[in-house]
Amino acid sequence: MKYLPLDSKIFIQNRKRFVSKMQKNSIAIFVSNDEFPSNGDALHGFVQNSDLFWLSGIEQEGSMVILFPDNPDPKYREVLVLVRPQELKEIWDGKRLRANEATTISGMTTIVWEDVLDGILQQWIHLADAIYLDSNENDRKNNLVRTAEYRFIDEMKSRYPLHTYLRAAKILKELRGIKTKEEVAVIQKAVDITEVAFRRLLQFIKPGVFEFEIEAEIYHSFLSQRATGTAYHSIIASGDNARTLHYVSNNNECKDGELILMDFGAAYGGYNADLTRTVPVNGKFTKRQKEVYNACLHLHDYAKSILKPGISILKYTDKVGEEATKQFLKIGLLSKADIKNEDQNNPAYRKYLYHGISHHLGIDVHDLGTRTAPIEAGMVFTVEPGIYIKEEGMGVRIENNVWVTKTGNQDLFKNIPNKAEEIEALMRRKK
Helices (H), 307-333: 313-330
Mean pLDDT is lowest, of 36-45, 108-117, 235-244, for 36-45
For residues 348 and 325, the answer to whether their CB atoms sit within 8 Å is yes
Mean of pLDDT values over 405-413: 96
Percent over 90 (pLDDT), the chain: 93
Mean of pLDDT values over 79-101: 94
**Which amino acid belongs to residue 304?**
K
User: Does the pLDDT value for residue 431 go beyond 70?
Assistant: no
- Residue of 192, 359, 216, 217 lying closest to 273 (CA atoms): 192
State residue 429's pLDDT score. 77
State residue 368's pLDDT score. 92
State residue 372's pLDDT score. 87
Mean of pLDDT values over 25-43: 94
In tens, the pLDDT along 195-224 reads: 999 999 999 999 999 999 999 999 999 999
State residue 430's pLDDT score. 62
In tens, the pLDDT along 120-173 reads: 999 999 999 999 999 998 887 777 788 999 999 999 999 999 999 999 999 999
In tens, the pLDDT along 243-284 reads: 999 999 999 999 999 999 999 999 999 999 999 999 999 999
Per-residue burial over 65-100, b = 16 or more CB atoms within 10 Å of its CB, e = otherwise: bbbbbebeeeebbbbbbbbeeeeeeeeeeeebbebe
- Residue of 299, 314, 270 lying closest to 387 (CA atoms): 299
User: Quick one: residue 250, left, alpha or beta (phi over 0 = left, psi -120 to 50 = alpha)?
Assistant: left
State residue 69's pLDDT score. 98
For residues 31 and 11, the answer to whether their CB atoms sit within 8 Å is no
CA distance 60 to 246: 30
CA distance 131 to 126: 10
Considering the entire predicted model, what is its pTM? Answer: 0.95
DSSP label of 365 = S
Mean of pLDDT values over 184-202: 98
CA distance 132 to 167: 6
- Residue of 176, 155, 175 lying closest to 165 (CA atoms): 155
Q: Is the dihedral of CA 406, 412, 413, 415 positive or negative?
A: positive
> Please, is 159 exposed, middle or buried when counting C-beta atoms within 10 Å of its C-beta (0-12, 13-18, 19+)?
exposed
Task: Enumerate domains of the chain plus CATH numbers.
Answer: 9-176 (3.40.350.10), 181-428 (3.90.230.10)
Taking all residues of the chain, what is their mean pLDDT, rounded to a whole number? 96
Decide: helix, strand or coil at residue 222. Answer: helix
Per-residue burial over 421-430, b = 16 or more CB atoms within 10 Å of its CB, e = otherwise: eebbebbeee
User: Does the pLDDT value for residue 370 go beyond 90?
Assistant: no
In tens, the pLDDT along 289-348 reads: 999 999 999 999 999 999 999 999 999 999 999 999 999 999 999 999 999 999 988 999
* Residues with Cβ within 8 Å of residue 363, at least 6 apart in sequence: 50, 53, 54, 176, 270, 271, 272
